[in-house]
Chain A
């Protein structure tokens, strides 16, 4: 199966991925609505670069009590009409990349906007062992 992979050594912390994701999926430039979390900042020990992306672990699919998140051909989709806003998927996501919205949630649909924008190939879409 192919999925997003984050390569921290290549990341420059520009956040273009966050912007690309929110523009594509939420029609707004708002990094906090992105379905990935890339951090590049300084703490007392120096530069910290970390990233979480959806690796298609299926925890959300398994946790959803009403089958509002489904997987088909290696892609997740969200069926808003079925969602009861219980928040279970957000809680179980090990990468914390599911966005809680006023109504419903946003999951990574592997649209690759983030990887298409990444200037340094720190985000790639490649074969992962599942």
Chain B
């Protein structure tokens, strides 16, 4: 199978047994790897209606055919399970150096099942798989967990959870190398529910392909001429903080729980401000773009903060203090809280407090209490007990549903849909709830030439991006390399024992996206679940380029209807039999 190892490691935590099996070749051809292949395994192996926090849910770590090779931007790992936050399919993408190490240990994927009787961590050392006691690690943050595992095992790469994962928070993430996260949908709680504190891996092997020198030379040319170009070097020059200024000037920077689209203190948290604290640029495995900024300010440091953190934990909480945002970021990474959801939860608590609906003891811009939040939420202490459940659950208990900023139970990322209507549709139709990584049309709309305030053409735009990204995250390429499907095909053809075409990849993308939808459909999701919070439809923004703007419900409906039609789904968002047949679902 050339660049695949052809081997899957299956670990049953209930029995403590590990076994290997061949990778399903037919599925690998139809779904590639990463996102697509992990969803395929989950679709086939999970019973409908399974409780995401039960032993019956499965956690899949999936690499792709390019993982571990010299292909630029091929260092990501997909981690998938049924989501505790949404009940949908959930696949996350994490950078760093775990994916390649797993491949060098000899595996394309790890499927983790069951539940350990007591806290454990896994050590995958080539063929040797050990389940070790995590009694001494339980209760510790992910950072100390990684350090202690490194003390014990040396040169390994680790995925770990913090207290948020142990306490089964629907916004618990998985951390690796301290500051890399599989962030969304409560993937860390799935680990916690299995009593699995960490997975450490070390691999001694490698990947052999024919004509390796020739292929490497061709890839180096591609790296120079197509990766390290004007289109992508923003990642190195600035990284995602660059987006703060773009969002501010186009009025889509979420501010004070999405009450406004501009932030008067944006200059305190923009890229220039972050650059003032920069100590080093840092890359994932095999990535020449190095989007990460390792920063220090005052007594705190982090690899970050990324745009999402600056927006959701900065402007959206009314916090214009960069050091506070950095410290909040560091705390979230250590406790293993997704900063997008955590920022939303804190902002929602601030608005509920200011509106007198419920007093959470925190108001916009209140730095002192803001910094107490990650700890309180992760350990469910004090006000954290309620906040730990996420925005949707807080609204259900205390009210404020119209401005509970979530879709399907997942909190909204950092692009205001009233100033980028296509982002609204992207959030509504993303497979795991409000997500900006399934499609990021803001790039060509709010930040490009397309009119943000029209529903026209948006369905087609979003579908194209969703399918492109679905195949990109299956291959797996990092989304920060804006490469064409033709380029993907060219590269995959170098590594696989067959010629891959762009048309085939586009089909794979569509198949992957539809399979994710089919998984959700089986769980009972339909049209009614594809809507945004009422605030987006009825509260006018009041500042900047989006002053007076809404995304009217009828316009949203229009986009959604067109979206279903172009997708080959019925009016209720259900995939038609014809489409299923066409995609071999």
Contacts and interface: CB of A to CB of B under 8 A. Distances in A.
A16 interface: yes
Given A30-B104, A30-B207, A14 B284 contact: yes
> Which of A9, A20, A23 neighbours the largest number of chain B CB atoms within 10 Å of its CB?
A23
Nearest to A15: B285
Contacts of A15: 97, 285-286
B280 A19 contact: no
A14 B213 contact: no
B178 A23 contact: no
B147 A14 contact: no
B527 interface: no
A19 B213 contact: no
B282 A20 contact: no
Nearest to A113: B216
Contacts of A24: 213, 216
A14 B301 contact: no
Contact of B213 (A23, A42, A44): A23
A33 interface: yes
Interface stretch (B287-295, B362-370, B406-414, B544-552): B287-295
Interface in A53-78: none
Interface stretch (A79-87, A88-96, A99-107, A115-123): A115-123
Contacts, number: 95
Contacts of B69: 19, 29
For A9, A16, A20, A113, the residue with the greatest tally of chain B CB atoms inside 10 Å of its CB is A16
A28 B208 contact: yes
Nearest to B75: A14
Interface residues of B, number: 40
Identify the interface centre among A24, A27, A43: most chain B CB within 10 Å of its CB. A27
Contacts of B177: 41-42
Nearest to A11: B280
Nearest to B103: A29
A7 interface: no
Contacts of A46: 294, 296, 301
Contact of A117 (B68, B220, B287, B296): B220
Contacts of A27: 208, 212-213
A74 B343 CA distance: 57
B212 A29 contact: yes
A47 B294 contact: yes
A12 interface: yes
A119 B228 contact: yes
B206 A28 contact: yes
B147 A13 contact: no
Nearest to A42: B178
Contacts of A110: none
Contact of B288 (A28, A33, A42, A119): A119
The 6 closest A-B pairs by CB, nearest first: A30-B206, A119-B288, A12-B290, A14-B283, A12-B283, A28-B206
Interface of A: 9, 12-16, 19-20, 22-24, 26-33, 40-44, 46-47, 49, 113, 116-117, 119-120
